[in-house]
A = this chain, B = another copy of it.
Amino acid sequence: MSGNAFGHLFRFTTFGESHGPAIGCVVEGVPARIPLEEADLQVWLDRRRPGQNRFTTQRREPDQVRILSGVYQGLTTGTPIGLLIENTDQRSKDYGNIADRFRPGHADWVYQQKYGIRDPRGGGRASARETAMRVAAGGVARRVLDTLVPGGVRIRGAMVQMGPHAIDPRLWDWATVEANPFWCPDAAAAAAWEEYLDGIRKAGSSIGGVVQVEAGNVPVGLGAPVYDKLDADLAKAMMSINAVKGVEIGAGFAAATLTGEDNADEMRRGPDGGALFLSNQAGGILGGLSTGQDIVLRLAVKPTSSILTPRRSLDIDGNEVDVSTHGRHDPCVAIRAVPVAEAMMACTLADHLLRARAIAH
C-alpha cells in the first residue's frame, strides 16, 4: 500500500537509499524446503552490477548480498527471507552540486513537492540502486519457479533497440546476448551500438532503448481475471522500473494495425494431444491468463537526464538555474534494465504461480 512492496503471495518489500548505510528487502511467501543460498542470488546481482564496463555507471560496489533469515541448512523454512546489501561506495561529494537544484527529468523536484524533504545524495530512494533488491528478490523467485514448475521456467532478456537503432529480429541469437556489454542478441548490431554509444558517452549525453523479456515453459492458466490479469501485473511490474515509459505484450502496439484474421493465434492439435498455437501475436497471454506459449514483452526505457549538457531548471528556492550532472552516469540506462526486467518477470510469475495453486481444482 505504501509502494515499497511487490506481489501478493510471493511478495517482497524493499528499503534503502542510494547513499544510506544499506539497502535491503524482505521476501515473503516462499514455500518451505526450497534450496537457497546466497550464491543463488549473487549470480544475478553480478549481472546487474554497475561499473563492469565503460557503458554503465562507474560506481563500484561489490553488491554482496547476505541472507539474514528464512533459510536453515540450505533450505527455505517458509519464514520471511531478509536480504541485505551494504553500501560501500557512496561518494556523496559527487552529487553535492545537485543537492539544492533540480535535475530536469529526474524525480528530484517532484519528491521535494510531495514530501517537503528528500535525501539528495545520489538520488536517494529514486536511485536505480534500488533495483539491486529487485534482482535479489528475482533470484529467490527463480528458485521458487524452478522448484515448483517441472522443467523450470526460463526467463531471459535482451536489448533490442538503442536509440534509433533496432535489431533485426530475424537475426536473433540468444548465445550472443551474454557476449556483449549490451545484452544484444545480434553481434553485428552490438558492434554498431558500441561505436554509437561511445559517441553518446563522450558527448556527455545519453540515449534511450528498448528491452525485450521472455519467459518459456510457463504453466497454462497463470493470472487472475479481471483486474489482476497476468499482463496487467506484468505491465505494472515493468512500468515500476526506473525510466520505463512504455510496455507492450506480444504484438503490442503493432496489434493496432492488425486485422482479426492476422491477430488471432490459430490452434491445431499438438503432438501431445494438447493445443498447438500456430503463431504468438498474443505474447503468451489471452484473457489475462498464460497460454503456455512464451510470454514476450518489451519495455521502452528513456535516456537518463544526468547529462553534461546544461539544461534549464530551478533551484530549491525557485531561482532559475542551469543544471548539468558531472557525477558518474549511464549513457544508456536501458542496458542495466535487462536483468531488472528479468527479475520483475520472475517475481510476477512466482506470485501468480502461488495464486494459481491456491485455487487449483
Contact = CB atoms under 8 A, between A and B. Distances in A.
B286 A109 contact: yes
Interface string A154-186: 000000010110000000000000000000000
A77 B281 CA distance: 27
Contact of A105 (B31, B264, B269, B304): B264
A49 to B, nearest CB: 19
The number of chain A residues touching the other chain, given as a range, is 35 or more
A318 interface: yes
A55 B290 CA distance: 30
A187 interface: no
Interface string A282-313: 11001111110000000011111111010111
Nearest to A308: B260
A309 B286 CA distance: 20
A11 to B, nearest CB: 6
In the complex this chain forms, how many copies of it are found?
Answer: 4
A1 B14 contact: no
Contacts of A356: 114
Nearest to A227: B6
A214 interface: no
25 contacts: A3-B223, A9-B359, A23-B82, A31-B359, A32-B116, A32-B359, A72-B124, A77-B118, A77-B125, A104-B267, A105-B281, A105-B282, A109-B291, A115-B361, A163-B256, A164-B257, A236-B239, A246-B253, A246-B255, A256-B301, A256-B334, A259-B303, A260-B303, A269-B314, A355-B358
Contacts of A21: 66, 68-69
Contact of A312 (B240, B267, B318): B267
Contacts of A20: 68-69
B13 A1 contact: no
Contacts of A357: 357-360
A206 interface: yes
B228 A3 contact: yes
A263 interface: yes
Question: Which of A20, A103, A247, A358: most chain B CB closer than 10 A?
Answer: A358
A235 interface: yes
A114 B275 CA distance: 14
A217 B32 CA distance: 24
A252 B208 CA distance: 11
A332 to B, nearest CB: 10
A28 interface: yes
A203 to B, nearest CB: 9
A20 B73 CA distance: 12
